[in-house]
Chains A and B, each alone.
Chain A
Amino acid sequence: MRRLQEELAATTSRREPIVEDFDLADTLMVADEIARLEPDAQAIMRLAFFDDLTHNQIADRLELPLGTVKSHIRRSLQRMRTRLEEAYATR
């Protein structure tokens, strides 16, 4: 876990720093959406988000076709995005 955390810290700092302080409600909503994903999609998004693996690495790790991984990533991100947009539309 510690190694993972360091890896995460290292990889995220490589990108632009996350300056935005997310609304707790948004975080919880997206966490809920992730929890609703089917098992494959959920495993993929966890590896993408938390382990910061590329889609190639994820496909290797889970032994899934590359196309499957890519389409899960697209659909899952779209679901989270839709959830966030719906929440903002009704606020």
Chain B
Amino acid sequence: MRHVDPEVLALLALGEQVALPDDSGHISECEQCRREIEVLTRAAMVGRSTFDAGELLDSPARVWERISDELALSPEAATLPGAASTAVVVEDASQVTGGAIVHSLEKKRRRPWVGALAAAASLALVAAAGSAIWLTFQPAEQPMVLASATLDAFPDWADSTGEAKLEQLPDGTRVIEVKFDAPATADGYREVWLITSDASALVSLGIVEGTSGQFTVPDGLDIDRYDLVDISEEQFDGNPAHSGDSIVRGQLTDNA
């Protein structure tokens, strides 16, 4: 079944009598073509309704001054750039139509106009509230996540999991944040390390109590070399070296 030419459908939607007998026959049977005419007709009707909608103009500053006066807004809120660029409808019926003809529409028109004014007013309110909240809770600078790692369990610690993040604090300090989950042990403690990827060198970041902690990365440490985060089980044996009993370990990868 061949559908009616889309251009013909569009013309039909405008009310032109352009359907050939074949088209009319098809349309009476084709739900899809009828639906198409229907939505295009609606678009055309809305299109025709723009005739007396007036032009979209940027509102003069005094309109916003009056709105903000009325709402007793602070001067900063009144000059928000967002508010200034918001367009409102300016209706001038006498200019568009040349006078008396559309008096009956006046009543109808008032309603949307009031709506638009209310909308503009609530926009201004929201903007004001927003700026107030912004000033009150200006967010502290957030640490920037430079890299992260998933920490995988060693065979002796099969069910353990963990993750690590390398962050840069607003003052430039680099920190490693670890979070892990491992079975508790009767004695001993856990230590966090940075290890080079060939395991030839390592630096202790410190002891972690519980299952999470934050550690400062020594200034000058080349994190590109020391890119393995390791958490080990240590004994109170007086030996400060890595015990060799790693629980989890993972490689930091840059956050794109």
Contacts and interface: CB of A to CB of B under 8 A. Distances in A.
Interface of A: 1-2, 5-6, 8-9, 12, 15, 18, 20-22, 24, 26-28, 30-32, 34-35, 45, 48-50, 54-55, 70-71, 73-74, 77-78, 80-81, 84-85
Contacts of A81: 39-40, 42-43
9 shortest A-B CB distances, which residue pairs?
A24-B112, A31-B50, A74-B10, A81-B43, A80-B43, A70-B7, A1-B98, A30-B46, A22-B49
Given A15-B15, A21-B108, A30-B50, 13 more contacts: A1-B96, A5-B97, A5-B98, A9-B101, A18-B49, A24-B116, A28-B53, A32-B56, A35-B56, A73-B7, A73-B10, A77-B44, A81-B43
Interface residues of B, number: 35
Contact of B48 (A49, A54, A74): A49
A2 B94 CA distance: 11
Q: Is the interface of B mostly helix, strand, loop or mixed?
A: helix
B106 interface: no
Given A27-B53, A28-B56, A55-B11, A80 B47 contact: yes
A30 B101 contact: no
A31 B56 contact: yes
B16 A54 contact: yes
Contacts of A77: 10, 13-14, 40, 43-44, 47
Contacts of A34: 47, 50
Interface of B: 6-7, 9-11, 13-16, 18, 39-40, 42-51, 53, 56, 89, 96-99, 101-102, 108, 112, 115-116
A73 B11 contact: yes
Nearest to B102: A5
B16 to A, nearest CB: 5
A50 B15 CA distance: 13
Looking at chain A's contact residues, the main secondary structure is helix
Given A74-B7, A77-B40, A84-B42, A27 B50 contact: yes
Contact of B89 (A18, A28, A49, A85): A28
B69 to A, nearest CB: 25
A2 B102 CA distance: 11
A54 B102 CA distance: 25
A2 B98 CA distance: 6
Nearest to A14: B15
B46 A27 contact: yes
A31 B53 contact: yes
A22 B45 contact: yes
A6 B108 CA distance: 20
